């Protein structure tokens, strides 16, 4: 129950009001000049600091940049009364935390102070003190949920899943269902079932699993190992494409381009390119590296594709520039007459790395399907085609038609495919997904039996319901109710958001040592910034490009990296309309983030 402040508490509030006024005088151009206050005792003397959007040494108390100042990190890492023994700017600092206060301002007025065990707030010009402890933000998991399996996919199957797994080996199967309904579980259990049957009959069995991300690849390998299905090939599409293309077309460069850009992906994966390849296969010549220059370095041919595919002219210009850069010699090659020891940067990297010339002498993973399609159109048959008895495609809605055509040709005659997918999780518009019938046609599979899973095994009902509302475009922002299965908060600044996340995640990981938490940024750059911010006061692991260890604790990652994975708790700190716009693609992206959670979701965004 709130109460009026005691005289010493009123004095404390007024002291903080004066500090805010100092910040406003020295940073008058900023709408929020300070976010909080930190007081440290050292050698019997107490010194205070304001946390703000930038460092300002000319005022008293000093203002510290909350993101970068070493002392500001103490604000996020240590509670009041904590003893300190650390190095700051290569100097020893021994002392203790005297006071920590988080500010909330409205206009130029301080309206709330959040202390360690209480908060002060203003209502109608009168200050009040609330000493009631805030409830835990995160909903506690039951004891049974804390017994974590090695993989969520190693589980008992329900009758519908079991029936799908035991379909005859020569049947191609399309497994559909919403996120968390067990599509990947069925696909991998079916593959393991087929592999064990072949082993029992002492006949050879070659299979390939294609997944969209490195994280999913690692978890798939772990799952197949647990299911006693050994020796099967698992790869991301890009890994597979690069390896197979370099084996089939030896004149391709050893290096692969890291950043192709959206325009390159849009054109090289577009169905309109297939029609051009059919017409020009003979005139372009044998599928060697130079044919890629004839194709993607020819403005007239690219304009034909762009016109048929309704792509904008800037796509053609960007693909031309990208292609011609790939056929330039590297700096090392251009200066091969120079001593090799001098052709290396001081940091040990290649001279072109991090420059516009780093595309020199590279090829794109998307080129693989183009070269294989050309070979097929010319009646050629690379040796590495037609060698698998079974093919599993996970998240198949993210594969383009030209890629599916090549993957289908990896099957031996009589081989079968298991396709797992969900059109509602289709987030890559360069895949040109037009439905499951188109996927089957592109694979060249004449008959595909379809099964739709109806029961969720991952998300709580409240999360599933909210995720469906997001897809339908009628979801409102969740209530700010601690412990709710779907929680929504709006903070005044990124500093406030970082502080609240750190405090809540500390409490969760102290209470539940086996919990897995994913803090999901919309893109990799956002994830890196979030990891830096949360790392000021919390042990986090940045997991990009699939670098997951699947251990308990807090990982910061990107939306692209979490497809197909699951975590006990999911935090989406950039859940506003800028990163997840109210478009079909934006709604599907947020749906994917939400449905990674097996227990609770926290959506957060910064006001404005």
pLDDT band for position 396 (cuts 50, 70, 90): very high
Q: Are 38 and 62 a contacting pair, CB within 8 Å?
A: no
Distance CA 51, CA 49 (A): 7
Q: Are 546 and 218 a contacting pair, CB within 8 Å?
A: yes
Q: For 486-543, how does the pLDDT look when each residue is reduced to its tens digit (9 = 90+)?
A: 999 999 999 999 999 999 999 999 999 999 999 999 999 999 999 999 999 999 999 9
Distance CA 482, CA 489 (A): 10
Measuring CA to CA, how many Å separate 64 from each of 59, 69, 93? 11, 6, 17
Residue 561 has pLDDT above 50, yes or no: yes
Structure-token pair, residue 484: 């709710």
The whole-number pLDDT of residue 90 equals 76
Please list the residues that pair with 538 across neighbouring strands.
none
Q: Which of 244, 287, 249, 273 is nearest to 379 (CA)?
A: 287
Q: Are 482 and 134 a contacting pair, CB within 8 Å?
A: yes
Q: Is 337 exposed, middle or buried (0-12, 13-18, 19+ CB in 10 A)?
A: exposed
Q: For 83-123, how does the pLDDT look when each residue is reduced to its tens digit (9 = 90+)?
A: 998 877 777 888 999 999 999 999 889 999 999 889 999 99
Instruction: Give the length of the chain.
Output: 608
What average pLDDT score do residues 127-151 get? 82
pLDDT band for position 346 (cuts 50, 70, 90): very low
The whole-number pLDDT of residue 350 equals 54
The whole-number pLDDT of residue 491 equals 97
Structure-token pair, residue 472: 């339908």
The whole-number pLDDT of residue 253 equals 94
What average pLDDT score do residues 228-243 get? 94
∠ Cα 21 80 492 (to 5°): 45
Distance CA 174, CA 181 (A): 14
The dihedral built from the CA positions of residue 116, 121, 127 and 132, taken in this order, carries a sign that is negative
Q: Are 238 and 421 a contacting pair, CB within 8 Å?
A: no
Q: Are 361 and 353 a contacting pair, CB within 8 Å?
A: no
Measuring CA to CA, how many Å separate 107 from each of 104, 447, 517, 558, 607? 10, 65, 35, 34, 13
Q: Which of 357, 458, 442 is nearest to 405 (CA)?
A: 442
What average pLDDT score do residues 413-427 get? 93
Distance CA 111, CA 104 (A): 6
Measuring CA to CA, how many Å separate 83 from each of 48, 93, 390? 16, 10, 61
Structure-token pair, residue 310: 């309704």
Distance CA 115, CA 109 (A): 18
Q: For 167-203, how does the pLDDT look when each residue is reduced to its tens digit (9 = 90+)?
A: 999 999 999 999 988 999 999 999 999 999 999 999 9
Is the model more confident about 5 or about 108?
5
Structure-token pair, residue 44: 């019997």
Distance CA 313, CA 307 (A): 9
pTM: 0.86
The whole-number pLDDT of residue 351 equals 52
Helix (H, G, I), strand (E, B) or coil at 565: coil
Whether the bond into 547 is cis, omega within 30 of 0: no
pLDDT above 70 covers what percent of the chain?
94
Measuring CA to CA, how many Å separate 291 from each of 333, 339, 374, 508, 572? 22, 33, 10, 56, 44
Distance CA 412, CA 206 (A): 10
Q: For 15-61, how does the pLDDT look when each residue is reduced to its tens digit (9 = 90+)?
A: 999 999 999 999 999 999 999 999 999 988 999 999 999 999 999 99
Measuring CA to CA, how many Å separate 602 from each of 217, 477, 499, 520? 27, 11, 15, 10
Q: For 292-334, how does the pLDDT look when each residue is reduced to its tens digit (9 = 90+)?
A: 999 999 999 999 999 999 999 999 999 999 999 999 998 767 5
Is the model more confident about 156 or about 590?
590
H or E stretch including 507? helix 494-511
Residue 352 has pLDDT above 90, yes or no: no
Can you list the domains of the chain with their CATH numbers? 7-130 (no CATH), 159-241+387-452 (3.40.50.300), 257-365 (no CATH), 461-606 (3.40.50.300)
Distance CA 565, CA 179 (A): 10
The dihedral built from the CA positions of residue 526, 529, 535 and 536, taken in this order, carries a sign that is negative
Q: Which of 549, 541, 607 is nearest to 578 (CA)?
A: 607
Residue 347 has pLDDT above 60, yes or no: no
Is the model more confident about 354 or about 216?
216
pLDDT band for position 150 (cuts 50, 70, 90): very low
Helices 436-443, 401-408: axis angle to 10 degrees equals 40
Over 201-269, what HEC string results?
Answer: CCCCCCEEEEECCHHHHHHHHHHHHHCCCCCCEEEEHHHHHHHHHHHHCCCCCCEECCCCHHHHHHHHC
The whole-number pLDDT of residue 449 equals 95
């Amino acid at each position: 129950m709130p109460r009026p402040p005691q005289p010493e508490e009123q004095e404390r509030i007024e002291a903080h009001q004066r500090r805010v006024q100092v910040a406003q005088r020295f940073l008058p151009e900023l709408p929020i000049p300070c976010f909080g206050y930190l007081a440290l005792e050292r050698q019997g003397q107490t010194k205070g600091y304001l946390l703000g959007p930038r460092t300002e040494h000319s005022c008293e108390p000093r203002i510290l940049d909350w993101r970068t100042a070493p002392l500001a990190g103490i604000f996020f890492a240590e509670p009041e009364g904590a003893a300190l023994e650390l190095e700051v700017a290569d100097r020893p600092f021994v002392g203790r935390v005297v006071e920590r206060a988080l500010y909330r301002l409205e206009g130029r007025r301080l309206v709330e102070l959040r202390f360690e065990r209480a908060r002060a707030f203003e209502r109608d010009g009168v200050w009040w003190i609330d000493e009631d402890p805030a409830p835990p933000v995160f909903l506690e998991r039951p004891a049974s949920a804390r017994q974590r399996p090695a993989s969520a996919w190693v589980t008992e199957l329900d009758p519908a899943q079991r029936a799908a797994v035991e379909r005859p080996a020569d049947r191609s199967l399309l497994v559909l269902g919403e996120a968390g309904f067990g599509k990947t579980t069925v696909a991998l259990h079916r593959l393991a079932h087929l592999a064990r049957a072949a082993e029992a009959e002492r006949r050879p069995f070659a299979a390939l699993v294609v997944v969209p991300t490195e994280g999913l690849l690692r978890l798939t390998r772990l799952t197949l190992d647990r299911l006693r299905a050994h020796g099967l090939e698992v790869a991301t599409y890009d890994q597979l494409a690069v390896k197979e293309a370099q084996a089939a077309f030896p004149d391709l460069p050893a290096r692969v381009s890291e950043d192709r850009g959206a325009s390159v992906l849009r054109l090289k994966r577009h169905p309109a390119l297939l029609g051009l390849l059919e017409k020009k296969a003979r005139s372009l010549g044998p599928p060697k590296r130079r044919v890629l220059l004839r194709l993607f370095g020819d403005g007239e041919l690219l304009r034909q594709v762009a016109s048929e595919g309704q792509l904008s002219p800037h796509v053609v210009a960007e693909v031309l520039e990208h292609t011609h850069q790939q056929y330039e010699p590297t700096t090392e090659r251009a200066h091969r007459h120079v001593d090799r020891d001098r052709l290396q940067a001081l940091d040990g990297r290649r001279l072109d790395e991090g420059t516009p010339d780093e595309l020199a002498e590279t090829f794109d993973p998307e080129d693989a399907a183009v070269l294989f399609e050309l070979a097929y159109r010319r009646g050629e048959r690379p040796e590495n085609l037609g060698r698998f008895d079974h093919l599993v495609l996970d998240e198949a809605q993210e594969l383009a038609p030209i890629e599916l055509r090549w993957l289908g040709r990896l099957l031996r005659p009589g081989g079968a495919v298991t396709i797992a997918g969900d059109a509602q999780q289709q987030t890559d518009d360069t895949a040109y997904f037009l439905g499951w019938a188109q996927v089957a046609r592109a694979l060249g599979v004449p008959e595909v039996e379809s099964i739709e899973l109806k029961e969720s095994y991952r998300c709580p009902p409240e999360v599933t319901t909210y995720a469906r509302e997001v897809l339908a475009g009628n979801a409102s922002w969740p209530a700010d109710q601690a412990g709710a299965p779907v929680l929504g908060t709006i903070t005044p600044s990124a500093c406030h958001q970082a502080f609240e996340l750190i405090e809540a995640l500390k409490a969760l990981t102290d209470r539940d040592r086996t919990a897995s938490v994913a803090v999901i940024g919309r893109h990799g750059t956002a994830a890196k910034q979030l990891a830096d911010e949360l790392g000021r006061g919390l042990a986090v692991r940045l997991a990009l490009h699939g670098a997951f260890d699947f251990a308990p604790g807090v990982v910061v990652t990107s939306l692209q990296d979490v497809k197909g994975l699951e975590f006990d708790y999911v935090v989406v700190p950039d859940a506003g309309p800028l990163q997840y716009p109210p478009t079909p693609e934006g709604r599907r992206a947020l749906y994917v983030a939400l449905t990674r959670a097996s227990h609770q979701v926290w959506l957060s965004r910064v006001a404005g």
